[in-house]
Amino acid sequence: MTMTIAIFNTEARKAVPVVRSLGAAGHRLISFGFERISVAAYSRYISKNIYLTGFDADRIERELSERNVEVIFPLEDPSIDFFGRNADRFRRYLIIMPPHEAFSIFADKGLTMKFARERGVTIPETHIPDSLEDAERFFRSAPAYPLVIKPRKSTGSIGLKVVRNPEEGIKQYRAIAERFTLPLIQEYVPPGGRTVGAEFLFYGGEEIMSFSHERIREYPVGSGPSTYCKDYRKDDAKTEARKLFAGLSYAGFAMVEFKEHPGSKKLYLMEVNPRPWGSITLPISVGLDFPLEALKIFADPKQYRMDPARSRYDTSVDHYMRWFLPGDLLSILFDRRMPALMKLRELFRRYENTAYQICSRRDPKPALMMAVKLMLNAFNIRYIRKYVLRKW
């Protein structure tokens, strides 16, 4: 059955594979973006693009009604939070998102760490200050450095800072706290270990699909989201992640990120993203179509049956995903550990068994508009700070 679906946050790169998944299945898609150029809005599968300057509930309700929308598919935390807080107002729509209580736990890294500790999940030693004075006392008495300052609510590496002594810690904490209220302070897990994501689709507390990926390259280098990654077939990350959802009656998407300690090989929880994740192209490309399965089970949970073939994929070869422009390009260029000749090789070599997140011959406009967007913002300091330098 064809449905009319409103995709919120089509400015996000993850929106491109979600749009292609649902559009290829024959559904009518309406784009709701918060930037003038929302890359996914130029997909061949989008029938109408609506630009929003903010969360004006009256306008959103009017646009949804006029477009005969049946399903709302929010992709980023602010949109999920908006519809969660306004659930009664939008109850006539099918909204693909987690229960608001569970979302609130995982959208706040401080609450996530407390929750994970109670569930027996391994986390870095974490201090959650209740005041600036408390944070400063902690930096002065901390038994070991470096430490990590991490905003409780942010995406990617924005606001994250590694500090190496009390003076630097206090200075950076004050600066970050002006933008992000009372960030948490964590033990630094040194580089050298794997970064692994365990991804899930749940409904009514039941696990519908799962997948794992391992990060190969990222941007910003050392702390950012994946720009090049591969499937990860060990079960350790999934097993640890499942502890977080037991008994929660969770529904929707979740990506649980772990970082491996290079010495102990133990996986430490970094964060939980209670929404579709950036590398969702990878499982879709191997046949695990998370967006389409989510729509099916949310739309008709009583009749839904998972075909076992849709939850498995060919594990005889490695599968890769690449976010080339601008993510992997920047990762290669700014990686100080990579020799110049290796940079050239990585830029121009042929990537086998690789799904590209935005580039597609069958749907070329999103990649074209990404290039246009980058050119238009080449001298936009605010854009460069946020998307290239990952600063706020």
pLDDT at position 120 is 97
pLDDT at position 154 is 77
Q: What is the pLDDT of residues 166-193, one digit of tens each?
A: 999 999 999 999 999 899 999 999 999 9
Cα–Cα distance for residue pair 6/14, rounded to 1 Å: 15
4: enclosing H helix or E strand: strand 4-8
The region of weakest confidence among 72-86, 87-101, 368-382 is 368-382
The answer to whether residues 127 and 159 touch, using CB atoms and an 8 Å cutoff, is no
pLDDT at position 312 is 86
pLDDT at position 391 is 66
Tokens linked to 146? 């470096």
DSSP 8-state secondary structure symbol assigned to residue 386: I
List, in sequence order, every residue forming a beta bridge with 320; answer none if it has no partner: 230, 354
Tokens linked to 318? 């490695």
| Class at the top of the CATH hierarchy for domain 125-187 | alpha beta
pLDDT at position 133 is 97
Cα–Cα distance for residue pair 297/304, rounded to 1 Å: 6
- Cβ neighbourhood burial of 383 (10 Å; 0-12, 13-18, 19+): middle
Cα–Cα distance for residue pair 3/137, rounded to 1 Å: 56
Question: What confidence tier does 115 reach under pLDDT thresholds 50, 70, 90?
Answer: very high
Mean pLDDT of 123-152: 97
pLDDT at position 1 is 85
Query: How confident is the prediction for the chain on average, in pLDDT?
Result: 95
Domain boundaries, the chain: 4-97, 101-113+189-360, 125-187
Mean pLDDT of 186-205: 96
pLDDT at position 383 is 78
pLDDT > 80? residue 68 = yes
Mean pLDDT of 256-267: 97
Question: What confidence tier does 390 reach under pLDDT thresholds 50, 70, 90?
Answer: low
pLDDT at position 223 is 82
Mean pLDDT of 132-140: 98
pLDDT at position 158 is 79
The residue among 291, 391, 225 whose CA lies nearest residue 71 is: 291
Helical H runs in the chain? 15-24, 57-66, 77-85, 100-107, 109-118, 132-141, 166-179, 236-242, 281-285, 290-299, 329-334, 340-348, 365-376, 381-383
Domain 101-113+189-360 has CATH 3.40.50.300: no
pLDDT > 80? residue 309 = no
The answer to whether residues 97 and 83 touch, using CB atoms and an 8 Å cutoff, is yes
Q: What is the pLDDT of residues 142-155, one digit of tens each?
A: 999 999 999 999 77
Q: What is the pLDDT of residues 91-105, one digit of tens each?
A: 999 999 999 999 999
pLDDT at position 156 is 66
Q: What is the pLDDT of residues 212-250, one digit of tens each?
A: 999 999 998 988 899 999 999 999 999 999 999 999 999
Mean pLDDT of 38-58: 98
pLDDT > 90? residue 159 = no
pLDDT at position 59 is 98
**Virtual CA dihedral for 291, 293, 296, 297, nearest 10 degrees?**
-110
**Virtual CA dihedral for 261, 265, 271, 276, nearest 10 degrees?**
130
| Fold type of domain 4-97 | Rossmann fold (3.40.50)
**Same topology for domains 4-97 and 125-187, yes or no?**
no
